[in-house]
Copies of this chain bind each other. A is one copy, B any other.
Amino acid sequence: MQKSKAKPDRKTWPAKGRVTVKDIAKALDVSVATVSRALSNDPTIADKTRERVLKKADEMGYSPNLFARGLITQRSRIAALFVSNITNPFYPEVVVKLTRRLQALGLHTMLFTSDGTSGVDEALPLLTQYNPDIAIVLAATMSSETVKKCVEGRTPVILFNRYVSGANVSAVCCDNYSGGRLVAETLAGAGHKAPAYISGLDDASTNVDRLRGFRDGCAAVGLPEPAVISGRDFTYEAGYIGMKELFAGKSKPDAVFCGNDIIAIGAMDAARRELGLSIPDDVSVIGFDDIAMASWPSHELTTVRQPMNAMIDEVIIEINRLLSQEDSQPQQRFLPGRLMVRTSMRLKEDDAR
**A residues lining the B interface (CB < 8 Å):** 14-18, 63-68, 70-71, 73-74, 76, 81, 83, 86-87, 89, 92-93, 95-96, 99-100, 103, 108-115, 123, 125-126, 128-131, 153-154, 236, 240, 265-266, 268-270, 272-273, 292-293, 296-299
CB pair B65–A129 under 8 Å, yes or no, is yes
CB pair A74–B14 under 8 Å, yes or no, is yes
- Contact flag A265-B296 (CB < 8 Å), given A63-B128, A71-B67: yes
CB pair A130–B108 under 8 Å, yes or no, is yes
- Contact flag A96-B71 (CB < 8 Å), given A17-B154, A109-B110, A129-B66: no
Q: Which residues of B contact A87 (CB under 8 A)?
A: 292
Please tell me which one of the listed residues B16, B93, B108 contacts residue A126 in the complex, with CB atoms under 8 A apart. Answer: B108
CB A345 to nearest CB in B, in angstroms, measures 18
Q: Which residues of B contact A298 (CB under 8 A)?
A: 265, 268-269, 272, 298-299
Tell me the complex Cα distance, A81–B95, Å. Answer: 13
Q: Which residues of B contact A83 (CB under 8 A)?
A: 96
Q: Which residues of B contact A123 (CB under 8 A)?
A: 103
Please tell me which one of the listed residues B81, B100, B131, B268 contacts residue A65 in the complex, with CB atoms under 8 A apart. Answer: B131
CB pair B125–A63 under 8 Å, yes or no, is yes
Q: Which residues of B contact A128 (CB under 8 A)?
A: 18, 63
Other CB < 8 Å A-B pairs besides A67-B130, A108-B130, 14 of them?
A: A16-B74, A16-B154, A63-B125, A63-B129, A86-B92, A86-B96, A89-B89, A92-B95, A103-B112, A103-B113, A109-B112, A240-B297, A265-B298, A269-B296
